[in-house]
Amino acid sequence: MILDDYRGIADQGELRAIEHLAGALRGRRFIHVNSTATGGGVAELLQRMIPLMKSLGIDAKWKVMKGTKQFFEVTKRIHNSLQGREGPPTKKMWDIYESVNRRNAERLDLDADCVFIHDPQPALLVEKKKRGIWVWRCHIDISRPNRVTWYLLKDLVQQYDAAIFSVARFAQSLPLAQFMIPPSIDPLSEKNVDLTEEEVNAVFERFDIPMDKPVLLQVSRFDPFKDPLGVIDAFKLVRKYHPCRLVLAGGTATDDPEGARVLDEVREKAEGDPDIHILLLPPFSDREINALQRGATIVLQKSTREGFGLVVAEALWKKKPVIAGDVGGIPLQVIDGVTGYLVHSVEGTAFRVRQLLQNPHKARILGEAGREHIRRNFLITGHIRNYLALWRAMEDKDSDLIYV
């Protein structure tokens, strides 16, 4: 994967900016650290980003911290608590957090010109900082954190040179530079690359979804905050007036009791309805998700809480109008009436779906605007440009200009 692959997709100016920034940073060391090599958006992005940076001559490395089962239980608690869903970790839990981080600090070589530490799990590694720019890259919704947990973490974050949040509303009061850089999608990944009509049709056939009526689609984990039950209610309202199908696609939830419960509720509610298709997708179903998004008439993301909502960017990139909850990073992507519609209720969702089913021309205009919006603002190339610009800006902190 090289930058040239993105010519004709990303703006020429964006690619030139990357080349100039990378030229100024050639041979310099850039280390990213997170807590998992596979699974989750951060790993997915780093897998694509690191080779691209290397191809630009930057000595980019990705290191994964090692944790124990106990450690990941603690960090899950910290994660939920920062998203305002659980209480703070106990003293014993925090001790585990610290000791695993310190063990990793001994193991990992973090000597670099720029170090990005992703999310709370490895945040304590900053204690190892000797030189270079250290940046804490936060991917989660931290707008309403449990205060105790946040104060524990804040002590660590304050030792960084800068912090990055995905959405401005997630920013915190901190005595360091803060940047807003949203996540991105890679238009050349399996999840987003162009597919032929035959391939799309074959996936629908494989999942036994006839393409005889318009298809409404929501792809997401079976999580209460994604409101799949609300989606079914909205679908039932729409279907009183329009023949259509609903596809709810999400991953298996064997290790997540909450997910299994939601899935049971969804199945119960959908029972006996031949127009509702519930798909349990195994991990690495990227091409299938790609095809489902391409074959859908309208994409829904009726979340009641959301970090960024990558599925929204994925659908807009495929020129699908998106009707989505007005939460988290969704309004950055769905501009109401321009790239889709923002909704706040089951009735509002049904109303907008009916409107678009009646007006395919409008649906097409929204979809086209959606693709362009994603192309300009949420592609991996823009993401890399922002990271490199931040690095240069932090090195030239006292200057009003970034020299590339």
Give contact residues for ligand UDP (rule: CB under 6 A). Answer: 41, 191, 219-221, 250-251, 281, 285, 289, 307-311, 314
Q: How far is the CB of 59 from ligand UDP (least distance, A)?
A: 29
Q: How far is the CB of 281 from ligand UDP (least distance, A)?
A: 4
Q: Which residue is nearest to ligand UDP (CB)?
A: 251
Token pair for residue 97? Answer: 């957090």
Q: How far is the CB of 240 from ligand UDP (least distance, A)?
A: 29
Residues 6+ apart with CB under 8 A from 75: 35, 67, 97, 120, 121
Closer Cβ to ligand UDP, 113 or 223, answer by number: 223
Closer Cβ to ligand UDP, 180 or 402, answer by number: 180
Q: How far is the CB of 40 from ligand UDP (least distance, A)?
A: 7
Count of alpha carbons within 13 Å of 151, Cβ hemisphere only? 4
Q: Indicate if the alpha-carbon torsion angle 15, 21, 25, 30 is positive or negative.
A: negative
Contact indicator for 137, 116 with CB cutoff of 8 Å: yes
Closer Cβ to ligand UDP, 310 or 327, answer by number: 310
What's the gap between Cα 266 and its chain centre?
24
Q: How far apart are CA 47 and CA 42, in angstroms?
A: 9
Contact indicator for 158, 126 with CB cutoff of 8 Å: no
Closer Cβ to ligand UDP, 21 or 310, answer by number: 310
Token pair for residue 145? Answer: 């954190």
| Burial of residue 121, with CB atoms counted within 10 A of its CB: 0-12 exposed, 13-18 middle, 19 or more buried | buried
Closer Cβ to ligand UDP, 187 or 251, answer by number: 251
Q: How far is the CB of 146 from ligand UDP (least distance, A)?
A: 19
Q: How far is the CB of 75 from ligand UDP (least distance, A)?
A: 16
Token pair for residue 316? Answer: 């807009």
Closer Cβ to ligand UDP, 11 or 223, answer by number: 223
